Amino acid sequence: MRFMVIVKADKNSEAGVMPGQQLLADMGNFNQQLADAGVMLAGEGLHPSSKGARVKFSGGQKSVIDGPFAETKELVAGFWLWKCKSLAEAIDWLKRAPFEETEVEIRQVFEAEDFGAEFTPELREQEARIRSKIETQTAG
Mean pLDDT (the chain) is 94
Q: Residue 80 in contact with residue 43, Cβ under 8 Å? A: yes
pLDDT of residue 138 exceeding 90, the answer is: no
Predicted confidence at residue 26, as pLDDT, reads 97
* Residue from 32, 134, 138, 14 nearest 74 by CA: 14
* Fold exhibited by the domain 2-109: Alpha-Beta Plaits (3.30.70)
Predicted confidence at residue 130, as pLDDT, reads 93
Tell me the chain's radius of gyration from C-alpha atoms. 18
Predicted confidence at residue 35, as pLDDT, reads 97
Compute the distance between CA of residue 77 and CA of residue 99 in angstroms, rounded to an integer. Answer: 13
Positive/negative CA dihedral, 27, 10, 13, 58? positive
Compute the distance between CA of residue 132 and CA of residue 129 in angstroms, rounded to an integer. Answer: 5
| Exposure letters 89-109 (e unless 16+ CB within 10 A, then b) | bbeebbeebeeeeeebebeee
pTM over 0.85: yes
Q: What digits encode the pLDDT tens for the residues 55-83?
A: 999 999 999 999 999 877 789 999 999 99
Predicted confidence at residue 4, as pLDDT, reads 98
Residue 140: CB atoms within 10 Å? 5
Q: Where are the domains of the chain?
A: 2-109, 111-140
